[in-house]
């Protein structure tokens, strides 16, 4: 059985409307997750190690103030379009749209005020919570009234995140959750002792602004071949890598499939990622620099967490040979990602 509790976490500042930010706590025998109505943020995620003890394995803040300041999207749902759009520009039905540039020359994770920075309307379910909002036509430069539902459900050791959307005009959409994980427990120094595998035969090379070049490159014989598990620290060292921030191309299927696994041998904690999405961005917290104080006043240095963001391929709206990122009126965007936790 999953227990669901709700409580007030804080209030938005008056200039943001002063609304109450609620926290929803979902609890099973083996997982406890805390989710905020601000940005659908996963603020805490406690899972058991092999010793049977719970540890919080996601980065974040103890108070609302932390989330209202600038931070790297800890635990949030990002959109309308996750990841980068080159020059913040795209054309739909012959009309060009220009978005806010918030990542060098590009638009990232929805722009200046994306889905991560707004209050969502919650509805409690027997085993979870459904958040919804209307993103109005023109919000952050995107076309169409977009109705969005993000549903978190907890069942035993599995947390499911379902994303649905409907639009009044053709619009690009790609939703993901941007949780930063450290299976040793948040606040642990690095992720070098984690073992990672990703079920992908190809990946997207990027230019120096992290926009895919358009090439779909085979992982075979490269540092991007993660089909067999690698210990992260040794792998980065072997290939002289500063870290990963790349999209891995998944098997094109609408069905649920296992796409990635992260394991922390010292605690026995393992997280499997299953999804219906065509891509997964593997990011190793390269831009964390110890300047942010997180939960328990702990700072988060470089490589102290990783992200496995299930999504469409970056800049797909400008690359016709990538999986289509467009949602049309009368269609429904519907994707699910499942995080399955265990301890061995």
Binding residues for beta-D-galactose: 83-84, 178-180, 245
- The answer to whether residues 181 and 305 touch, using CB atoms and an 8 Å cutoff, is yes
Q: Which of 109, 178, 235, 335 is catalytic?
A: 178
Report the DSSP beta bridge partners of residue 132. Answer: 121, 149
Q: Which distant-in-sequence residues (6+ apart) come within 8 Å of 216 by Cβ?
A: 202, 203, 204, 249, 321
Element holding 336 (H helix, E strand): strand 333-343
- The answer to whether residues 121 and 133 touch, using CB atoms and an 8 Å cutoff, is yes
Is 309 a residue of the active site?
Answer: yes
> What HEC string does 71-96 produce?
CCCCCCEECCECCEEHHHEEEECCEE
For the chain, the C-alpha Rg in angstroms (whole number) is: 19
The C-alpha atoms of residue 187 and residue 304 are separated, in whole angstroms, by 7
Q: Which of 264, 274, 309, 335 is catalytic?
A: 309
Q: Computed from CA positions of residues 202, 200, 115, 45, in that sequence, does the dihedral angle turn out positive or negative?
A: negative
Neighbouring C-beta atoms of residue 5, cutoff 10 Å: 11
- The answer to whether residues 160 and 153 touch, using CB atoms and an 8 Å cutoff, is yes
Residues annotated within the binding site are: 83-84, 178-180, 245
Question: What residues are labeled active site?
Answer: 178, 309
């Amino acid at each position: 059985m999953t227990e669901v509790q709700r409580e007030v976490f804080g209030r938005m500042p008056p200039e943001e409307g002063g609304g109450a930010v609620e926290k929803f706590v979902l609890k099973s025998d083996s997982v406890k997750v805390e989710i905020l109505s601000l940005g659908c943020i996963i603020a805490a995620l406690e899972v058991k190690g092999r010793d049977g003890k719970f540890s919080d394995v996601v980065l974040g803040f103890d108070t609302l103030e932390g989330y209202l300041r600038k931070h790297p999207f800890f635990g949030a749902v990002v959109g309308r379009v996750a990841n980068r759009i080159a020059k913040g520009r795209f054309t739909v039905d012959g009309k060009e749209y220009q978005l806010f540039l918030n990542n060098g020359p590009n638009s990232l994770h929805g722009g200046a005020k994306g889905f991560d920075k707004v209050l969502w309307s919650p509805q409690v379910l027997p085993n979870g919570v459904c958040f919804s909002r209307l993103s109005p036509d023109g919000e952050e430069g995107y076309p169409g009234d977009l109705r969005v539902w993000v549903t978190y459900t907890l069942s035993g050791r599995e947390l499911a995140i379902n994303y649905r959307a409907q639009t009044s005009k053709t619009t690009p959409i790609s939703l993901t959750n941007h949780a930063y994980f450290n299976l040793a427990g948040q606040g642990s120094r690095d992720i070098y002792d984690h073992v990672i595998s990703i079920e992908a035969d190809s990946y997207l090379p990027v230019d120096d602004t992290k926009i895919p070049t358009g090439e779909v490159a085979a992982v075979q014989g490269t540092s991007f071949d993660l089909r067999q598990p690698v210990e992260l620290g040794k792998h980065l060292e072997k290939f002289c890598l500063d870290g990963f921030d790349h999209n891995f191309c998944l098997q094109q299927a609408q069905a649920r499939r296992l796409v990635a696994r992260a394991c922390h041998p010292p605690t026995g904690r393992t997280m499997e990622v299953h999804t219906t999405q065509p891509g997964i961005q593997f990011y190793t917290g390269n831009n964390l620099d110890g300047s942010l104080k997180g939960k328990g006043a702990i700072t988060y240095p470089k490589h102290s967490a990783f992200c496995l963001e299930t999504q469409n391929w970056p800049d797909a709206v400008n690359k016709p040979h990538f999986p289509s990122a467009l949602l049309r009126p009368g269609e429904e965007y519907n994707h699910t990602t499942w995080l399955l936790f265990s301890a061995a």
